[in-house]
Amino acid sequence: MALKTRIRRLGAAALAAGALLAGAAAMAQDNRGAVRMVVPFGAGTTTDTVGRIVGEGLGRNLQQTLVVDNRAGAGGSTGTELVARSAADGRTLVMGTVGTHAINAALFSKLPYDPLRDFAPIAFVGYTPTLLVVAADSPIKSLKDLTEAAARPAGVSFASAGNGTSGHLAGELLAQRLGGRMLHVPYKEGAMALTSVMASQVDFMFYHPAAVMPQIKAGKLRALGSSGALRSAAASQVPTLMEQGIADFDLVAWFMLYAPAATPAAALAQLRTAAAAALAQPELMTRLREQGVEPGQMRAEDLQPFNQKELVKWAGLVKRSGAQVD
C-alpha cells in the first residue's frame, strides 16, 4: 500500500512538473512571438508617445504582444542601429524619425547604418510642424519684430535640443531667409532649451506643438509662426511662416515605422496591412493629433522615394548650417 501510495504521489508530482514545464514553454513561445518596437529616444519624448500609440493599434491588429523598447543615444542612432543589425524576422521594428532616417546621415561623419539600404519601411505615421516661440513677455511680438532685432548689431539667439536637430536646422533656415545675426544655443534636451526661452535667456526656438502648447495656454510662451506648409492642427490659430511672406519654408518632423531590410516579403505585407488598419482608426488618429502629429496616408511603394527626397533636403540644410557630429 505504501509503495502504491508513493507511486501515485510521484506520478502526481511528475504531472505537476510537466504542467509547469508546459506552461513555461508556452510563455517562452509567447515571448518569442512578441513584436518589439524600438523607440530610439527616451521615455516621455514625442517619439516615445507616438510609438506607444501606434504600438497599441499594431499589436491589436497583429494579435501579438507588442513591447516598446526605449534605446536612446547619439541622436537616435543607437536604437536605430540596433534594429538594423537585428534578426529580419518581422518581430523587431523601429519608430524612425526625420532625425534617424534623414538628418543623421549628413550630421554624423560615420553613421553606423544606412537609412535606405538597411531598412524596409512599413508605414508613414505622420508629421508635425514645429512652432516658432518666444517668451510671453518678450519684446519680439511678431516676425517683423524678430527681423528687426536680428538686424541690430547684437542680433538675437535661438535655442534647440542639440546640434543638427530639426529645431536647430529650422533656426538656421530662418536666419538664411531673414538675414541678420542669429546665434544658435544648443542644449542637451528640448525641455532645458524651452525653459531658457521662457526665462528670456534665449530669444526664440522652434519646438513641437505638444511641448509648447501647454506653455502657450499658461501664458508663458507666444507663438509667432509654424514651420510647415500648412498650419498645425494643434495650433490652428498660428499662421505659417510662408503665410507671413517667407518663401519655401516647409520643414516638418515626421515619423515612419521600419523593419530590417531583409525582412521576408510575407512578414512585411502582414506588418503593412496591420499598420495601415491601425492608422485608419479614428481614435488613434485623434490621439496622434493631440500630440500635434498629423496622420499621413502614403502608399508602401512611395515610402522609400519619400525617404530619399528627405535625405537630400536635410543634407543641404545640414551642410549650410555647418553642424557636424563626429
What letter would DSSP give residue 63? T
Which CA distances in Å does 222 have to 86, 123, 226?
44, 34, 12
Q: Which of 73-77, 101-105, 106-110, 187-191 has the highest mean pLDDT?
A: 101-105
Mean pLDDT value of segment 50-71: 96
Which CA distances in Å does 164 have to 185, 187, 194, 198, 218?
12, 11, 17, 22, 29
Give CA–CA dist 130/35, Å, rounded: 31
Q: Please give the pLDDT value at position 248.
A: 87
Q: Please give the pLDDT value at position 28.
A: 34
Residue 151's CB is within 10 A of a number of other CB atoms, namely: 13
pLDDT digits (tens, 9 = 90+) for 2-49: 434 433 443 444 333 343 333 333 333 344 479 999 999 989 888 999
Give CA–CA dist 219/136, Å, rounded: 6
Q: Is the pTM of this model over 0.85?
A: no
pLDDT digits (tens, 9 = 90+) for 125-155: 999 999 999 999 999 999 999 999 999 999 9
Q: What is the DSSP string of 276-304?
A: HHHHT-HHHHHHHHHTT-EE----HHHHH
The number of residues in the chain equals: 326
Q: Please give the pLDDT value at position 210.
A: 86
